[in-house]
Every structure is written in C-alpha cells, then in structure tokens.
Amino acid sequence: METIRVASRQSALALRQTHWVMDRLAAAHPGLSLEVVRVVTRGDRILDVPLADIGGKGLFVSEVEACLLGGRADIAVHSLKDVPTLLSEGMVLGAVPVREDPRDALISRSGLRFSELPPGARVGTSSLRRVAQLKAVRPDLTFVPLRGNIDTRLRKLETEGLDAIVLAAAGLHRMGWADRITEYLEVDVCLPAMGQGLLGIECRAADARVRSLLQPLSDPHATLAARAERALLALLDGGCQVPMAGHARVVDEGVHLTGLVASPDGREVIRAEASGADPETVARSVADALRRQGADRLLELAAAARPGAPAVR
C-alpha cells in the first residue's frame, strides 16, 4: 500500500486542516495510506513577542518545509497566508483547495458589534494589517497584541481583560466554532490578508507521482485567487511586518483584485483594484496604482517603525 507522509504544525487548527486534506486525498485515491508528521515551528515556540517583531512569513513554514527537503514528508499543508511568495528551491504548491471564508471575524465578550464597542474598549489582535484598518474606522479603541493558537486567543478574551478579539473567520469555521462569531468584518472595513482562507499543499517539484495525486484537490477559482494575491504580495515585497492586504475574487472576465497599504496608525489607508484575465497582470496593475498613491512611502514608514530597524534619515 502506498503511503503519503503529510507534514503539519502541531496546533489544533493546523492538524484539523491537515486531516481535512488527508480525508479528501483518501476519498480521491481509495487504498492510499496517509500519516501525519508533526512539526513545531519557530512561530509556535515564540509566543510572547508580536509577530511583526520576530520576522516574516517563514515563521510558520520553514521547519515544515524542511521535512520535505529532508525527505521526511511527501507533502506539507500550510495556511497559505503564512507561506512566503518564494518557496525553497525545488518546492512547488501542488494544489490550492477550495477556499474557506476569507473575512476577519469579531468576537466580543458582550455580544456588541464593532461599531457598538464603547470608546477605549480593548481589542486583541496580533495583526498590524487589522490594527491599521480598524484604527482608521475606530481610532478611539485600544488595540492589544494577542498571540497564541486560536483556542488560546479565545481563552485570553475571557482572562486578559479584553472586550473583543479579531480572528480569521476561516479558522473558526474549520474548528467548528462559527457560533462564537459576533460579527463578520466585511472586506470594505477590513480587507483580508493575502491568502487568508486558503490552504496551500506544498510538495517537491520533481515528485511527479505526488503532484498527480494532489491534482483532484486543486480548485480552479481558489488557484486563480491565490495567484493574484501572492503576485501582489511579491510585487509589494510585504510580510507580517507591514500593514498591507489583498483580496481576489473570480469574476466572469477573470479575477478582480483589491489591494491595500496603510500606515501603522491607520491615519493613511490607500486602496486600489483592477480586473482582468491574467492574475499576475492584474496584480501588477494594482501594485502600480498603490505605488502611484504613495504605497512605497507607507511601507518604508512601517518598516522603520519595527523594533531594531535603522533610523530613518
């Protein structure tokens, strides 16, 4: 019996996502044997420092990817928003399955919606992207860094004097906790991270057998959206350390992409959007439009504001 080894982070959400992929692989290929290779990443080990202060997107990917490079696993399941645009040499995204809800979600202790939270309310989130956009709408709120796995963050809502927290709706859905959501934040209020709600299944480029096994899991609409959003991310050279966002949806003529760059304090938020048949061309149009509005300056300001960054002269 053929066995496929699947590398995954050890968090409850990561394992839920991994088993979701494994179930679909097993359904597509009866008789295939699958086993999980659990990995602890640097991002999982460092929980007392904001993500923006300790590095970029590779925090949750590099050790998992190393399992593929070292031959200890055949595929790896990632949250695509954690995956750098440049994979290690010899690696490819073998499939992007159907997308879960890409929006952010607010969970409040009192059941109040975002617009109803009282001035000074404490809102927990680990994302500069979320803070910048939500500050632009509600500068009177206090935003508190919030790290940990999804269950840890939900627990901290009750134990750390927070009035609300903001999480990706996709993770809550995958864990079966959609009933905890007070309000979905629409994309015109809080544009999602590039890749949010998408899974990326990574494998070795030279492994033709594994790539063929993954093909039934690939969703054409999700793949188009992923191409557009990841192209925009690469063009803006962004990561966890800067407030930027992007969301693509498939339309009749191809893909429609909205991009955003903001100042960390939310006082400046610029958006651009474009549509077209080719995702990479659309991403370039959006990136160029953002740059014409001053995106490079905002990205430089965000980079300079990071701890340890050189002084801006």
Taken in order of first residue, the domains within the chain and their CATH numbers are 3-96+198-218 (3.40.190.10), 104-185 (3.40.190.10), 234-304 (3.30.160.40)
Q: Give yes or no for residue 240 having a pLDDT over 80.
A: no
Q: What is the pLDDT of residue 57?
A: 46
Distance in angstroms (rounded) separating the CA atoms of residues 293 and 286: 11
Q: Give yes or no for residue 312 having a pLDDT over 60.
A: no
Span 55-95, pLDDT tens digits:
444 455 778 888 898 899 999 999 999 898 889 899 999 99
Burial 132-165 (b: 16+ CB within 10 A, else e): bbbbbebeebebbbbbbbbeebbebbeeeebbbb
- Among 145-149, 192-196, 306-310, the minimum mean pLDDT is found in 306-310
Within its chain, how far is the Cα of 126 from the centroid? Answer: 12
CA atoms within 13 A on the CB side of 297: 6
Q: What is the pLDDT of residue 253?
A: 76
Q: What is the 3-state secondary structure (H, E, C) of 170-203?
A: HHHHHCCCHHHCCEEECCCCCCCCCCCCCEEEEE
Identify residue 120 by its one-letter amino acid code. G
Does 82 qualify as catalytic in the annotation? yes
Q: Lay out the sheet containing 122-124: strands in order across.
A: 142-144, 122-124, 164-168, 104-108, 183-185
pLDDT, mean of residues 205-233:
97
Which is nearest to 81 in space by CA: 156, 176, 180, 14? Answer: 14
- Among 87-91, 98-102, 238-242, 300-304, the minimum mean pLDDT is found in 238-242
Q: What is the pLDDT of residue 164?
A: 98
Residue 42 pLDDT grade (very low, low, confident, very high; cuts 50, 70, 90): low
Span 84-125, pLDDT tens digits:
888 989 999 999 999 999 999 999 999 999 999 999 999 999
Residue 238 pLDDT grade (very low, low, confident, very high; cuts 50, 70, 90): low
Q: What is the pLDDT of residue 300?
A: 84
Q: What is the DSSP string of 101-150?
A: P-SEEEEETT---GGGSPTT-EEE-S-HHHHHHHHHH-TTSEEE---S-H
Burial 15-46 (b: 16+ CB within 10 A, else e): eebbebbbebbeeeeeeeebebbebebebbee
Span 258-282, pLDDT tens digits:
999 999 888 999 999 999 999 999 9
Q: What is the pLDDT of residue 307?
A: 53
Residue 54 pLDDT grade (very low, low, confident, very high; cuts 50, 70, 90): very low
The mean predicted confidence, pLDDT, of the chain is 90
Contact 129, 271 (CB under 8 A): no
Q: Give yes or no for residue 304 having a pLDDT over 90.
A: no
CA atoms within 13 A on the CB side of 70: 9
Distance in angstroms (rounded) separating the CA atoms of residues 96 and 94: 7
For residue 86, the 8-state DSSP code is S
Distance in angstroms (rounded) separating the CA atoms of residues 201 and 222: 12
Q: What is the CA radius of gyration of the chain?
A: 19
Q: What is the pLDDT of residue 224?
A: 97
Q: Give yes or no for residue 45 having a pLDDT over 50.
A: no
More confident residue, 64 or 17: 17
Span 129-175, pLDDT tens digits:
999 999 999 999 999 999 888 999 999 999 999 999 999 999 999 99
Sorted by sequence, the CB contacts under 8 Å of residue 281 that are 6+ apart come out as: none
Q: What is the pLDDT of residue 313?
A: 24
Please tell me which residue in 82, 101, 104, 163 is annotated as part of the active site. 82
